[in-house]
Amino acid sequence: MDQTRHGSGRLGTPPRDRLLPGPAAHEIQFLVDVRSAPYSRFTPPFNRRRLEPVLAATGVRYLFAGDELGGRPSNAKHYDAEGHALYGEMALELRFRQMIDRLADGVRDHRIALMCSEGRPGDGATWRSARPVSSRRRPSASSAG
């Protein structure tokens, strides 16, 4: 791709099993799911098992990255004494940095969308963790939202 574009947006609640306007409408090639748990109680069409085939039917590939980038870490050392996630510590993990690198490399040739469960995506756990890492890797990166 000639130019890296990024920003945030909301998919909203899809009618039945359809994502409208949908990732394909925005020429998205990969949807990267950064939720710690790839399901939603409130919007079942966003559950991984239902979402993957819908995306595949429109030519969009699905990648689950919640283990690497999700906001609810499985490692107890990533929580403070009160149970709050330590996003800075998570960002130091090799697998976190490797996924950030993979995504940064991927946007060179592909249109990639990240899906999280935040109501305001730019304020979510993944973004708080990733901003310092990605800004060191790509100083020209900016956020739109």
Assign residue 60 a region: left if phi > 0, alpha if psi is -120 to 50, beta otherwise? beta
The H-assigned helical ranges of the chain are 48-57, 66-69, 87-91, 94-106, 125-137
Confirm whether 33 is domain-assigned: yes
130 domain-assigned: yes
Rg over CA atoms, the chain = 15
Residue 19, domain member (yes or no)? no
- 61 in any annotated domain: yes
The answer to whether position 64 is within a domain reads: yes
The C-alpha atoms of residue 90 and residue 86 are separated, in whole angstroms, by 6
Q: What is the pLDDT of residue 40?
A: 85
Parent domain of 41 = 27-137
pLDDT in tens, 68-83: 998 888 889 999 999 9
Q: Report the domain count for the chain.
A: 1
Question: What pLDDT score was predicted for residue 1?
Answer: 43
Instruction: Mark the ranges of the chain whose per-residue pLDDT is less than 70.
Output: 1-26, 118-145
Query: What is the model's pLDDT at position 11?
Result: 53
In this structure, is residue 72 part of a structural domain?
yes
In a domain, 3, yes or no: no
Q: What pLDDT score was predicted for residue 29? A: 92
The answer to whether position 124 is within a domain reads yes
